[in-house]
Amino acid sequence: MTVDVSVLVPTGAEETYTWLTEPARLRRWQIVTGRMDLRVGGEFRWLVVPGHTALGAYTAIEPGRRLACTWGWEGDEEVPPGSSTVEITIEPAAGGSEVRLVHEGLSDTQAKGHHEGWTHYLDRLKAVTTSGDAGPDEFAAMQDLTLLNAAEASLALCLPVLREMGANRGTSSTPCEKFTVDDLVDHLLGSLTGLAAMTGRPFEAATDGTPEERVADAGQRVTEAWRIRGVDGAVPAGPQELPADLAASILSVEFLVHAWDFAQAAGLPFTAPDELTGYVLEQVRRLDAAVDLRAGGQFQAETPVGADAGALDKLIAFTGRAA
């Protein structure tokens, strides 16, 4: 079966092509984060929504006109990597460009789901090229409550805050005492590289780029490292070991709590789904019971909140911040 969907966007062919091929632009309408080697034979890895990573390799590239690639989902037996193909063509049209996407190699059931998904994302492409903002992606809401899905869902909330905050607030104060925005970005990146090292897949965080670009890259690397390792057993934590599931729980805490911190520093509104925030709160309580985060100086004394406080306010208060 074949999925064949099209959309008319208000941008010219060359600009439309950049929305399909530049990670910073893709993050604004289609993916949480991803990397791509844009050449024939080059591979891409896109975290599209929490728990769902698309993998493929480019088979044709014609800048401003056409892209083709293999397509599949990591860990998916029905549509594994390399099992299907996607071709995108861009044609000049009155008022902009027509983007046509053809996805081949799917069963009837697979085609139905992918038709819905591609229609959704082409609608978001039209929105972002029309107004500059596709809005929150309803598909990015966490579906299955697992440690790594929660980490990816929290990353999906953190990156838009960093993008909207921009790169000019480095000296702004944050809710973290004595931490400027630049300090907090470095702290977050340090935590992510340390958590990746626990899996045996260390990396060095980028020092160039905007806060969003740097955290997007590190966020993908660390969540990928944990996906490969899994959360069973124990991992090294300095001179000792830590249960792997406990270490993995730190990811969602880092992304979600610091997303709130960055929003506060920039004067931006911030919301998070109660289901996700409640789950992260459970994890941070479990983590605190195991390693005593307050004694270690990571958290201050819990801030009192009312019984009717929302899950996000309770999470922030648990860390010692004033919601």
What pLDDT does residue 133 have? 94
Banded pLDDT at 83 (limits 50, 70, 90): very high
> Does residue 125 sit within a domain?
yes
Q: Concatenated DSSP letters for 207-226?
A: -SS-HHHHHHHHHHHHHHHH
Return d(Cα 276, Cα 292) in angstroms, integer.
23
Residues belonging to the chain: 323
Which of 66, 271, 251 is closest to 161 using CA atoms?
271
Q: Which of these ranges, 61-70, 135-144, 157-166, has the smallest mean pLDDT?
A: 135-144
> Does residue 214 sit within a domain?
yes
> Does residue 323 sit within a domain?
no
Stated as kind and residue range, the H or E segment containing 281 is helix 274-291
Q: What is the pLDDT of residues 306-317, one digit of tens each?
A: 888 999 999 999
The residue behind tokens 């991992």 is: 235
> Does residue 203 sit within a domain?
yes
> Does residue 136 sit within a domain?
no
Cα 147 → chain centroid: 14
Are residues 199 and 169 part of one domain? yes
Are residues 147 and 118 part of one domain? no
Domain containing residue 76: 2-131
Provide mean pLDDT across the span 181-191. 97
> Does residue 213 sit within a domain?
yes
Indicate the burial class of 28 (C-beta count within 10 angstroms; 0-12, 13-18, 19 or more).
buried
Are residues 18 and 95 part of one domain? yes
Q: What is the pLDDT of residues 212-260, one digit of tens each?
A: 999 999 999 999 999 999 999 999 998 889 999 999 999 999 999 999 9
> Does residue 243 sit within a domain?
yes
Q: 72, 107, 131: which is the final residue of a domain? A: 131
Question: Which distant-in-sequence residues (6+ apart) come within 8 Å of 239 by Cβ?
Answer: none
189: left (phi over 0), alpha (psi -120 to 50) or beta: alpha
3-state secondary structure of 91: strand
The CATH number for 49's domain is: 3.30.530.20
Are residues 154 and 77 part of one domain? no
Provide mean pLDDT across the span 42-61. 97
* First-residue to last-residue Cα distance in the chain: 51
Are residues 204 and 87 part of one domain? no
Q: 86, 107, 131: which is the final residue of a domain? A: 131
Are residues 308 and 161 part of one domain? yes
Per the structure, how many domains does the chain have? 2
Q: What is the pLDDT of residues 144-164, one digit of tens each?
A: 889 999 999 999 999 999 999
What pLDDT does residue 103 have? 98
Are residues 233 and 151 part of one domain? yes
Are residues 105 and 166 part of one domain? no
Provide mean pLDDT across the span 188-199. 98
pLDDT reading at 295 higher than 80: no
What pLDDT does residue 187 have? 96
Are residues 147 and 122 part of one domain? no
As given in the structure block, the two tokens for residue 275 are 């289901």
Q: 131, 152, 174: which is the final residue of a domain? A: 131
What pLDDT does residue 68 have? 98
